[in-house]
Amino acid sequence: MKAHRGDRLILEGTRVGDQRRIGIITELRHADGTPPYVVRWLDTGHEALVFPGPDARIEEPTEHTLS
């Protein structure tokens, strides 16, 4: 998994009742874009250091989400 600042990190729920979490990657800890990432969660505004697991995916921002 490789990411850039501004990409979205999406964590899918792994159990019944879990909600999808979406965050914006605000900082990379490695120049090659590998984890961990500092992520600002959209639902709470909280920033956290995240080591994504197999239920995570990265999405690049689109023009629509940047405006």
Domain assignment present for residue 1? The answer is no
Count of domains observed in the chain? 1
Q: How far apart are CA 50 and CA 63, in angstroms?
A: 25
Residues 5-61: tens digit of each pLDDT: 999 999 987 778 788 899 999 999 999 999 999 999 999 999 999 999 988 999 998
What CATH number is associated with residue 32?
A: 2.30.30.440
0.85 surpassed by pTM = no
Domain assignment present for residue 3? The answer is no
Domain that holds residue 14: 8-66
